[in-house]
Amino acid sequence: MSFVSRGFTGRRRTAEPGRLPPGQHDVGEDFPVLSAGPTPHVPLEQWDFTVGGSVDRVRRWTWDEFRRLPREPVTADIHCVTSWSKLGTSWEGVAVRTLLEDVETEAGYVVAFCDGGYTTNLPLDDVGDGMAWVVDTYDGEPLPAEHGGPARLLVPHLYLWKSAKWVRGLRLVLQDEPGFWETFGYHQRGDPWQEQRYAGD
């Protein structure tokens, strides 16, 4: 992968008490962009989403099939490990629980994989009921490519590198497998309220 993209410092403003995890600042109307590598562009007719790995059978949805799944609006604060936060963001997409609802597995972890080769690992408990979504709209519009469109994972209670851009599927695994940033020393879980930025935090 190439160098990370620039432009992720944002403008600081004061947030209401209790909204910002330790070490974070509110960027207000800005939405900084930070990516590990170039922005991929996949035609929607070639896009699909897969749930595989240690499962009873692989599930796969085309773009049109994915768009017909039950959808949910999501309003959430998001927190980047580089210290910016954006409050009250508005998304829509499919809950991960919907994608996994009839999956039989003994796995305890998931690895999200993406166009461009990016991966990130999460405990299965962190993508459970009402905790994670695959979103394809932002602020009422199709999700822009620079922010992960056509679809990205959204796990707002963890640092934003866990909300993988350009996501194409989830691989369920029996043992934790570090993803891209985790192999470079980032924390395996990434809870912003505990400042789990790097291994050992």
pLDDT tens-place string over residues 161-183: 999 999 999 999 999 999 999 99
Average pLDDT over residues 69-87: 97
Say whether pLDDT at 5 is over 60: no
| Ordered domains of the chain (ranges, CATH) | 44-72+89-194 (3.90.420.10)
Those residues with Cβ within 8 angstroms of residue 57's Cβ, 6 or more apart along the chain or in another chain: none
> N- to C-terminal Cα distance for the chain?
26
Residue 17 tokens, joined: 């008490």
Q: What is the pLDDT of residues 90-137, one digit of tens each?
A: 999 999 999 999 999 999 999 999 999 999 999 999 998 889 999 999
Query: Confidence class of residue 70 from pLDDT cuts 50, 70 and 90?
Result: very high
Quick one: pLDDT at residue 15?
61
Say whether pLDDT at 191 is over 60: yes
How much is the mean pLDDT over the chain? 92
Residue 186 tokens, joined: 């980032």
What percentage of the chain has pLDDT greater than the value 70?
Answer: 92
DSSP-derived secondary structure for 33-54: ---BSPPP---GGG-EEEEEES
Q: Are 112 and 179 in contact (CB under 8 A)?
A: yes
Say whether pLDDT at 9 is over 50: no
Angle CA 73–75–78, to nearest 5: 130
Supply the pTM of this predicted model.
Answer: 0.91
Query: Confidence class of residue 1 from pLDDT cuts 50, 70 and 90?
Result: very low
